[in-house]
Amino acid sequence: MVIPHAVRRLVPALAALAWMATASPVAQQPAAVVGQVDIGIPITTRRPSTPYPTRAVPSPALAPASERRHVVVYLREARPQPVAPMRVSMLQQNEHFIPRVAAVTVGSEVDFPNDDPIYHNVFSLSRAKNFNLGRYPRGATRSVRFDRPGIVKVFCDIHSHMSATVMVFDHPWFDVPDEDGRFELTGVPPGDQEITAWHERLGDTTALVHVQTGRPVTADFVLPVPEEGR
């Protein structure tokens, strides 16, 4: 994730200052941020309209039951940390990427197994990771390793309506809410922290929380952000 250098330098400095000021061993303990993400509007999923009859492939199923799964909650302006690589699978099924949104650590590998009886392709034009896995049939799996933090949009060049997002973090403080919208960021450094909830289409919102030692902090989000005087 790209963060302005000035801010990146400022945050550790501030953290050090806070640490020196409090000088309390309790205050140095990280704490969890938990919360709830809600989607304020109903979202339907629809194929783009076309003047031609639909293709012979069966209509794609609706989006996953909960749009809450399409949200990534993460700690903003976090200092880069050494993180353990993960392995995540993004299935291609019914002309959809499932899940549509994934969040991984730098160095993680994402598998793209094809579960449809047709060819799929996986490619990306994003700055953080520019790749093209080519076309491959059902049962085949190809993988991509994400080495830079950032946001990567993934598409299929055969089925232009298919898209997915992979967010790559260089710190561990991120989470994808469960079906009910609950999330938990563990071990967040104490102090004033910015927590952002990002939805692939509905925008993002950021909440300021004060993390204190040993006590979970709650942060709730509603997306999209209600429009005010816009």
Residues that bind another protein (CB under 8 A): 2, 43-52, 60, 63, 96, 123-127, 130, 151, 153, 155-163, 165, 200-201, 203-204
Q: Compare residues 31 and 126 and give the one whose CB is closer to another protein.
A: 126
Shorter beta-carbon distance to another protein: residue 157 or 220: 157
- CA 133-67-91 angle, to 5 degrees, is 25
> Is the CB of 66 or the CB of 163 nearer to another protein?
163
In the β-sheet with 182-188, what is the strand arrangement from edge to edge? 182-188, 31-39, 217-223
Task: State the nearest-atom distance from the C-beta of 127 to another protein, in Å.
Answer: 5
CB of 160 to another protein, least distance (A): 4
Of 216, 215, 217, nearest in space to 207 by CA: 217
**Sign for the pseudo-dihedral over CA of 21, 26, 28, 34:** negative
Pick 161 or 215: Cβ nearer another protein: 161
Element (H, E) at 22: helix 5-22
Min. distance of Cβ 149 from another protein in angstroms? 11
Cα distance between residue 169 and residue 2, in whole Å? 10
Q: Tell me the closest approach of the beta carbon of residue 218 to another protein, in angstroms.
A: 25
The DSSP bridge partners found for residue 205 are 197
**Closest CB 23 distance from another protein, rounded Å:** 37
Nearer to another protein, 108 or 124 (CB): 124
C-alpha distances in Å from residue 141, one per residue of 55, 88, 116, 168 = 25, 12, 12, 21
